[in-house]
Chains A and B, each alone.
Chain A
Amino acid sequence: MKKYTYTEKKDTRSGFGAGLLEAGKKNEQVVALCADLIGSLKMDAFIKEFPDRFFQIGIAEANMMGIAAGLTIGGKIPFTGTFANFSTGRVYDQIRQSIAYSDKNVKICASHAGLTLGEDGATHQILEDIGMMKMLPGMTVINPCDYNQTKAATIAIAEHHGPVYLRFGRPVVPVFTDPDQKFEIGKAWMVNEGTDVSIFATGHLVWKAIEAGEKLAELGINAEIINIHTIKPLDEEAVLKSVAKTGCVVTAEEHNRYGGLGDSIAQVLSRNNPVPQEYVAVNDSFGESGTPDQLMKKYGLDTDDIISAVQRVIKRK
């Protein structure tokens, strides 16, 4: 197992904030909008540097999505910022008609996704957003794994034409990817080469997959770990190449088991190379209040859950 270490923990939303500032410096067409959550989205630095290119919308997410769509007409590259719940379910029809169907170059940047939002509870812990967004034709869906990757993804999406959903989170998590990485949309990242099982993980579950891989190595299981930061378009080639070698799959995500990364992988497998698959995902339920660690444990998204899923799937080979 390739060794991964970290010296600090940071929140992925801060990676977004840093990336937004840099994207703004690189391209004056980049503008930002926020629905009364500047601090939560870490947009302060961008606003300080580019006050004229920031739009405070107020608590009106539907209007924010429409204004963002309009700003593209005239060449702007708008980044909208609010919680993942209010970035998707609340404004699905606005995104569908005014952005996706209209092919508008809007970057929907969504923080506090999933259970790790924590104490605010299920009203805010969206676990269905990946599914909703990946069903929209033409939408790119990205869920990076740490601060550095989120920063790199934010810079990359500014240079990509078309609507993008960028999903990140609230808690501090290990920073283990290269700070100077080049983020390639749609290109899976090989975290660890292995032979016994393919673990496809996204977002916060990538670090947990690494922890699981280390423990599995001690048990004599050589896990291949792949970071699927781009859920759509999915790197099908990387998935199939890995599966051809390992013959079984575990998918890991902070999302409902319906409609997320696991289903995207299952579809590729069913069409090309059906092999056993186990899901590490929320089992079709809402979340609840608690600390992020408590919630990840209670809802089956912890390191140990990945390990047991690997053990189950290998037996099914």
Chain B
Amino acid sequence: MTPDIDKLTKLAAQVRRDILRMVHGCQSGHPGGSLGCADYFVALYFHALKHNTKFDMDGKGEDLFFLSNGHISPVWYSVLARAGYFEVSELSTFRKIDSRLQGHPTTHEGLPGIRVASGSLGQGMSVAIGAALAKKLNNDGRIVYSLHGDGELQEGQTWEAAMYASHNKVDNLISAIDVNGQQIDGSTENVLSLGNLRAKWEAFGWDVLDMNGNDMADVVRVLDLALAKTGKGKPIMILMQTMMGNGIDFMMHSHKWHGVAPNDEQLALALAQVEETHGDY
């Protein structure tokens, strides 16, 4: 089926509005990375994943997704709600007391769509590998996806997982890195440079793909390409170039909006830049 790029793009605009309103509503959270990854999440849940919104933890016969850089929870929550895992009205509870939408994703409050807690960085790839191994044991041919931050690669556990996945031919795993070049204290170049990511992942034995993560057509194209590369003895890594704060002019080109919420005035300025395509929650 040929995906309707325009339809996906429109949905991504709504997701960006959700993100802005969620972090504004609780005056905390991480808008920058969430906005940058909106296109990937929309393409993943509305094009790539074979999934069931009647959530089942084991997810047998379904594709699974794990978010390792859990701080971009707003984009995930928005997309899960828009996909039908729970009511979009629940997005208004983000980071508030008694909410299932915790600051960082968790299974603890029983939010459908979440299979493991994340927030403390560097752990998601290991969990995704475990889920991929379980699929192999269960003769379940579906795929496991995971997303990681680029700054997160500074956590050593990621590289333990990288070694394991290639050595053991975990070829039902499609990981992606949000390469936005920013982390809390500045650019990744200045804080702790990541070097040549393609060369690193290839040296670790992965099949590496490049993606423009803020071009919906390219996101869809590369996700399709990645799927075609599964089952060939190598784990797959997508280096997804994104712009932190993508879609909002004053939030781009800086690490400043990594973990800061807009005030009322900034929210109005931001919302004016993204169309309300599916109705605000």
Contacts and interface: CB of A to CB of B under 8 A. Distances in A.
Interface of A: 31, 52-53, 55, 57-58, 60, 62-76, 78, 93-94, 96-98, 101-104
Contacts of A68: 130
B209 interface: no
Contact of B57 (A57, A58, A63, A73): A73
Interface of B: 57-60, 64, 66, 106-108, 115-120, 122-135, 137-138, 140, 156-157, 160-161, 163-164, 167-168
A74 B161 contact: no
A71 B133 contact: yes
Given A55-B133, A62-B157, A103-B107, A70 B164 contact: no
Most B-side CB within 10 Å, residue of A55, A63, A71? A63
Contact of A60 (B118, B133, B160): B160
Most B-side CB within 10 Å, residue of A70, A72, A75? A70
A87 to B, nearest CB: 15
Contacts, number: 121
A71 B116 contact: no
A55 B165 CA distance: 12
B133 A63 contact: no
A245 to B, nearest CB: 41
Nearest to A59: B160
B135 to A, nearest CB: 6
B89 to A, nearest CB: 26
Given A58-B164, A62-B126, A102 B107 contact: yes
A245 B167 CA distance: 60
Contacts of B128: 70
Most A-side CB within 10 Å, residue of B57, B58, B124, B126? B126
A12 B116 CA distance: 33
B120 A70 contact: no
Given A63-B160, A67-B127, A75-B138, A101 B117 contact: yes
A64 B122 CA distance: 13
Contacts of B57: 73
Given A58-B160, A74-B134, A74-B140, 11 more contacts: A58-B163, A66-B127, A66-B130, A70-B130, A70-B132, A71-B131, A93-B120, A93-B123, A94-B123, A97-B117, A102-B115
A74 B125 contact: no
